[in-house]
Amino acid sequence: MFSFEKSEVERVKPVLEKQFKGTEDAQFRTLSLENDQEIELVYIQTVIDNANIHEQFFKPFFEINDIQRYESYIKSLPNFKEFKDEQDTVKEILHGSIVFLIQNKVYMVGFIHQENSAVLDASVETTILGPQKALSENIYTNLNLIRHRYHEKSLKVEKLPEIGDKSNIQVCLLYDEKEADSEIVDKVKKRVKKADRPIVQSAGELHRALTNRKRRLFPTLLVTERPDRIAYNLYQGKVIIMIEGIPFVLIGPTVFYDFMSSMEDFYQPYWVSKFLIVLRYIGLFISLFLPSAYVGIISYNPEVLRIQLAFSIAGSRMPVPYPSYLEVLFMLIMMEMLTEASIRLPKTIGPTATTVGGLILGQAATDAGLVSNIMIIIVAAVAISNFIIPINEMSFAMRVMKYLLLIITTFSGLIGLVIGTVGLIYYLVYLDSFGKPYLKLFTSHQK
């Protein structure tokens, strides 16, 4: 029908030569047989599996010794792809395909090789009794891991258009067709298509691109590294967004409780896990409210406490020359710095920082009369209880939130704390994750 048009090879070849001729690792190989029949291979050496290319493609070519039969051999390979257009071909080469130019026909075979397909140990969300391995940085290895945990025929894997104008990262969508709400799946697809950022390199960055709110404090999608959590969430009808090159996935829609749950909850006996959950919420409340409650009570309403306690706090604050909010702010910021420092420092120096910071600084600060003893206890309690929140993103959000409550309490006393808390509840209730309410008591799992 289009016989007057150029053949596939004629269309593709100039484009490929223009795009890749100057690149060191791009290869244009010509293989020829005795009867002067030729085929041409185009690929980028550094993204394909160099070790096996000879075995897989060169050797058979000479063994088969016939172009037509070699063509059908190529077509029989598992990662064979048909030619679509020039742009698609260029993209395929960049993603590790080998392009075959055989007698006016163009074929592509995916022959990708990635260095980082080792399965990592779970390091961010660790459990005692659960599986100890997390994901890898290779999307196919990850799919393999998940498929092995979720043997269900309704599990759908969908490739989405690549993300990032420059990085062109591959993104996959994973959901259980039977469990997931199709509306939400469509919504996720639409959002991913709309996400426009030049470079996306982490799950958190994609999360930022996916939410239409520009500035947000609380995570509305869950970032996880645990295959067991992914399998559980698939069963719950959630949608998993997988990203090439990252050992984390995004799960949505998620509600507040998801961020307060650890996979450990499923592996422990019922009452133990309930106890752990209660502990977690107590930790959340302590880390959120304790600093502001201290300021509100000490500086505004010391009569709230029973008299003995009020006296002992006042006694401990005797040498402290400034109002309580400065004391709290000073110690909290020191504590945050310690936390940050121990994340960024090389693992070998880490313990030094904590020793210097925690022991020496804390002791010296009370001796110098800059902060009270009770303040040290409070800061320690806040720091420890903040780490009890199982999902990292939520614990970071709560770390920030605590300062907002502290500010409002500093300016308006205990009443500010109550108003701030109600405000926080309103804000959390107001949020939603792909159309699901973010914070709602007694969420039922029915669809």
Partner 1 sequence: MSRYFYYLVILNMLANVVALVPSILIEGRLNGTVSSLMIAIVITLIYCFVFTNSMLKFPGKGQPEIIKAYMPQWFSTVYLFLLGVLYFFSTWFVLLSFIDITKRFINPELPTLYITILFLAIICPGALMGTEKTLYALEIVLIISLPLIIGIFLKAYINEHLNWDAIRIVFTHSFDAPSIDMIGAASYSLLGFYYISIYNRVLKHRLKRLGLWRLVLIGIAGVVNIFTSLLIPIGVNGVDGAGHYIYPWFSTADTMRIEFGFIERVLFIFLLLYIGISMISATITCHIGLEHVKSIFPEIKWKEIKIIPLIVVTLFSLGSILGYFLLSQIQVYELAKVFFTLLLFAGAFSCAVLLYVVRRSKQK
Residues in contact with partner 1 by the rule CB under 8 A: 300-301, 303-307, 309, 412-419, 421-423, 425-426, 429-430, 437, 439-442
Q: How far is the CB of 405 from partner 1 (least distance, A)?
A: 13
Q: How far is the CB of 326 from partner 1 (least distance, A)?
A: 19
Q: Which is nearer to partner 1, 357 or 413 (CB)?
A: 413
Question: Are the CB atoms for 99 and 89 separated by under 8 Å?
Answer: yes
Burial 147-176 (b: 16+ CB within 10 A, else e): eeebeeeebbeeebebbbeebebbbbbbbb
Q: How far is the CB of 418 from partner 1 (least distance, A)?
A: 5
Question: Are the CB atoms for 431 and 219 separated by under 8 Å?
Answer: no
Q: How far is the CB of 368 from partner 1 (least distance, A)?
A: 28
Q: How far is the CB of 404 from partner 1 (least distance, A)?
A: 13
If you write DSSP's letter for every residue of 211-247 in order, what string do you get? SS-SS-SS-SSEEE--HHHHHHHHHTT-EEEEETT-S
Six-digit token pair at 6?
Answer: 């150029």
Q: Which is nearer to partner 1, 202 or 301 (CB)?
A: 301
In 3D, which of 424, 433, 437 has the Cα closest to residue 398? 424
Q: Which is nearer to partner 1, 322 or 411 (CB)?
A: 411
Q: Which is nearer to partner 1, 110 or 302 (CB)?
A: 302
Six-digit token pair at 372?
Answer: 């009270």
Q: Which is nearer to partner 1, 124 or 424 (CB)?
A: 424
**Under DSSP, is residue 251 helix (H, G, I), strand (E, B) or coil?**
strand
Q: Which is nearer to partner 1, 130 or 420 (CB)?
A: 420
**Would you state the torsion angle of the CA atoms of residues 260, 134, 230, 285, taken in this order, to the nearest 10 degrees?**
0
Question: Are the CB atoms for 250 and 241 separated by under 8 Å?
Answer: yes
Six-digit token pair at 434?
Answer: 């792909």
Residues whose CB falls within 8 Å of the CB of residue 174, separated by 6 or more in sequence, listed in order: 143, 146, 155, 156, 157, 158, 230, 234, 239, 240, 241, 242, 249
Q: How far is the CB of 439 from partner 1 (least distance, A)?
A: 7
Q: How far is the CB of 444 from partner 1 (least distance, A)?
A: 12
Q: How far is the CB of 423 from partner 1 (least distance, A)?
A: 5
Q: How far is the CB of 293 from partner 1 (least distance, A)?
A: 10
Q: Which is nearer to partner 1, 330 or 403 (CB)?
A: 403
Q: In what order do the strands lie in the sheet with 105-110?
A: 26-32, 38-44, 97-102, 105-110, 80-82
Q: Which is nearer to partner 1, 197 or 440 (CB)?
A: 440
For 80-154, strand residue ranges (E) read 80-82, 97-102, 105-110
Q: Which is nearer to partner 1, 33 or 418 (CB)?
A: 418
Q: Which is nearer to partner 1, 21 or 306 (CB)?
A: 306
Q: How far is the CB of 420 from partner 1 (least distance, A)?
A: 8
Sign, Cα dihedral of 48, 52, 53, 56? negative
User: What is the H or E stretch that residue 378 is in?
Assistant: helix 373-387
Q: How far is the CB of 414 from partner 1 (least distance, A)?
A: 6
Q: Which is nearer to partner 1, 39 or 417 (CB)?
A: 417
In 3D, which of 136, 133, 189, 195 has the Cα closest to residue 167? 195
Question: Are the CB atoms for 174 and 251 separated by under 8 Å?
Answer: no
Question: Are the CB atoms for 133 and 120 separated by under 8 Å?
Answer: yes
